[in-house]
Amino acid sequence: MDARDYLGRLLALTWGSLSPNFLTYHSVLRELLRADRGQKVSGGRHQDTIRECFAWREISLLPGSLLLRPHTLKDCALDADRTTALDDLDDQTLDGILGLLNEAVKSRKSRKQRRKPA
């Protein structure tokens, strides 16, 4: 099997087994390795090459890595009920956050006014 056929088969098997939900480079690497191990592709002959290509880009299979854990919008407090995260904060903390936001808005407005031609 030549390189083009190998890569085509490897990618077809890999993409066909991946879910678009919570897709990460780590899951792509796992599926590429799994597809390469299959007898239809190479029986695992290219495992080291695949790992080296990802390692060169500093992508590896790290057990317990935060990048390997699934995350949802709710985990990031971005679900439909956004007030829940704010309810957990005390008034002093909320006042501090509002103060910082007001300062950021003033600073942004000031920068925009300086950029306008006279």
Q: Residue ranges of the domains in the chain?
A: 3-68, 83-115
Residue 46: count of CB within 10 angstroms of its CB: 19
Phi-psi sector, 64: left (phi>0), alpha (psi -120 to 50), beta = left
35 CB-contact burial (10 Å; exposed 0-12 / middle 13-18 / buried 19+): buried
> Is the full-model pTM beyond 0.85?
no
Output the tens digit of pLDDT for each of the chain's 118 residues. 588 888 899 999 999 999 888 888 888 998 998 899 886 778 888 988 988 888 888 777 765 555 545 556 665 555 555 555 667 777 888 788 888 888 888 888 888 787 776 5
